[in-house]
Amino acid sequence: MSLGYTGKILHVDLTRRKIETEEPGETFYRSYLGGRGIGYYYLLRDVLPRTDPLAPENILVLATGVMTGSPIAAACRFAAVGKSPLTGTAGESEAAGFFGPELKAAGFDAVVFKGRSETPVYLWVTDGRTEIRDARAIAMQGAREAEDAIRAELGSDKIRVAQTGLAGMNRVRFANITNNLGHFNGRGGFGALMGSKNLRAVAALGNGVIDYHDPEFLRKTATEYAKTFRKSPAGDALYVYGTTAFPELLSAAGGLPVNNFRSSSLPDASCLGGDTYNSLLLKKRKGCHACPIMCKRVIALEDPVFGVDSRYGGPEYETIAALGSNLNILDLRAVAKANEICNRYCMDTISAGMTIAFACECFEKGIISAADTGGIELRFGDAGLLLKLLEMTAHREGFGDLLAEGAARLAARWAVADEAFCMCVKGQELPLHDPRIKAGVGLSYALSTYGADHMNAPHDPSFVDEKSFSFQSVKPLGIFRPMPATSLSNDKVRSFVTLEKFWRMLDSLGLCVFGFAPRGVMPLDTMLACIRAVTGWNTSLFDLMQAAERSSALARAFNSREGFSIKDDRIPARLYDPKPNGPQAGNRIFSREDFQRAIERYYAIIGCDPQSGRPLPGKLMELDLEWAEALMRPAPEA
């Protein structure tokens, strides 16, 4: 009997319009947990070397974890996995919300799509039944209109819809997938992958009940958490501000990106901060499935220029910085409108903002001119220009057709790929956290298998204060000494390896980092008890983190086969410059040599070849992945 999962995985061949159901056993779920673990298993197994990410032969996996949908806080996430259209790596992106739990209630843990439909379609999943339906009428509509049309056609406003939008159907390289209009598989271009398959949406509705080993324990734990989480400063801050307090906090520390990371603070960041946000924009707080934290923002703004549709949610920190401070746009109304445009068309706000910032700096430096942009004068600080460029990008109109390719491809086109101001790693634009105040975040950007990402491991400030809850909470993981945020010491590298596994474990299980220590407030022993209460497994942190390590090894195996190596694990040269603002302004925080040594130590610890990054045979054997070794061999040259 399966506990916490359905034991069923859908395989949908869009070319042949054929749907099959696979029923893996418990060993499969214990080995891979779900989410990215399941996704990378199928990606390495089923996608041939050198497959074009937008070709029908690529796959798209939407996978829940064994904890997704369980009745505790922050247990709602699912992963999108495939070969990334943006980076060409083994790619993933997690989303919260309601779609993952609904997919399970409808009878399935994951869906694996392959092939390409001749015309736009959507998949309807309900109570163990599936149907491929015509989506031509909604193919190029906005996300809200498409969701409403699907619900009207199928006869229920309770249906949960995961969809790509106009940007995905137009193959914008950083198009994303949204569910319920305000939750996103944001990074890596999975909306473009979805669009390349002519798959407009997946709709799910179910009445299925997932069995749990100890439902009474889960009920009591969920009730107690809901009553007490705001007693923690971290829990209360998430409820009151979500992530919108970060602009002021990071600016004060000299870590808020401004003007394409050339500066790192504002004279007064309160214009973009949490209190201004709450007074100007906030309509109400909103949570995900069964979660009392309510960190999502619903905004309302009646304005003749910047008025927004509140169903698309409100901007969070990454968006405020990407479409605000890093473009020197300091009006939250403009940021909110830019966020709505991205969400309506399903575009990643980080990549969109960073790509425009890169183009603006190239224009400023004379690398491109109005002749290259269709007569548009690119400049920082112009909110009207930002809104225009976002519309053009989603529609691939004029200069927007180039922006839709992302910053790394533009850098190659304009022969500046090696310049310091191309802020990408492995082809993915940087998130908005400056490694010059968080050195471990720099490691995270460089070492992420799918390009720069701020959700690859907990951030350094959590482990500076020995007395803090965050630091004390990770002692069960073997981290006993606090570390300066800007350190690249052996302690930092060791702890990074451990914490990266831990966060990959949360992703595989379907858990949100905001719910659990060290980022959230539920202690690790309580979290582990909840996992046991859901699954009935006599499991441990070691067992679960090894499953997470298994997923990372599969991703590294895939990347090695595709030609990626340790040479690709590098951060933009601008981040080696002296710190521009804030505390330690003018000081070089770390050198290239320091950073490279940390990268090499990382690979030595995780059991990969120090040059290629390829998992060594002994590591594959330890992880029960001997089968993967044959699949790492690259295809012969044509």
C-beta of residue 174 within 8 angstroms of C-beta of residue 86: yes
pLDDT in tens, 380-437: 999 999 999 999 999 999 999 999 999 999 999 999 999 999 999 999 999 999 999 9
Q: Determine what percent of the chain is predicted with pLDDT higher than 90.
A: 97
Judged against a pLDDT cut of 60, whether residue 638 lies above it is answered with: no
Residue at 607 is within a domain: yes
Same domain, 455 and 387: no
Residue at 228 is within a domain: no
Burial class (CB in 10 A: 0-12, 13-18, 19+), 377: exposed
Residue at 355 is within a domain: yes
Same domain, 186 and 298: no
Three-state DSSP at 628 gives helix
CATH code (residue 447): 1.10.599.10
Residue at 462 is within a domain: yes
Residue at 4 is within a domain: no
C-beta of residue 525 within 8 angstroms of C-beta of residue 477: no
Same domain, 28 and 175: yes
Same domain, 28 and 117: yes
Average model confidence (pLDDT) across the chain: 97
Which residues on adjacent β-strands are paired with residue 258? 263
Q: How many domains does the chain have?
A: 3
pLDDT in tens, 14-50: 999 999 999 999 999 999 999 999 999 999 999 999 9
Same domain, 322 and 264: yes
Find the mean pLDDT for residues 159-179. 98
CA–CA distances in Å: residue 575 to residues 12, 157, 354, 459? 43, 47, 15, 17
Find the mean pLDDT for residues 3-10. 98
Same domain, 301 and 374: yes
pLDDT in tens, 567-582: 999 999 999 999 999 8
pLDDT in tens, 284-324: 999 999 999 999 999 999 999 999 999 999 999 999 999 99
Same domain, 71 and 197: yes
**C-alpha 451 chain-centroid distance:** 11
- The pLDDT of residue 27 is 97
Residue at 215 is within a domain: no
CATH code (residue 194): 3.60.9.10
Judged against a pLDDT cut of 80, whether residue 622 lies above it is answered with: yes
CA distance 277 to 336: 10
Cβ of 574: how many Cβ atoms within 10 Å?
A: 18
Domain end residue (candidates: 190, 205, 220): 205
C-beta of residue 416 within 8 angstroms of C-beta of residue 367: yes
- The pLDDT of residue 636 is 61
Residue at 15 is within a domain: yes
Q: Which of 586, 588, 497 lies closest to 548 in space, CA to CA?
A: 497
Find the mean pLDDT for residues 506-527. 97
Tell me how long the chain is: 638
Question: Dihedral of CA 374/375/381/383: which sign?
Answer: negative
Confidence of residue 7 (pLDDT cuts 50, 70, 90): very high
C-beta of residue 448 within 8 angstroms of C-beta of residue 188: no
DSSP state of 160: E
Same domain, 476 and 616: yes
Range of the domain at 116: 9-205
Judged against a pLDDT cut of 80, whether residue 201 lies above it is answered with: yes
Judged against a pLDDT cut of 90, whether residue 612 lies above it is answered with: no
CATH code (residue 397): 1.10.569.10
CA distance 39 to 42: 5
Same domain, 334 and 389: yes
Judged against a pLDDT cut of 90, whether residue 588 lies above it is answered with: yes
- The pLDDT of residue 635 is 61
Same domain, 446 and 353: no
Residue at 231 is within a domain: no
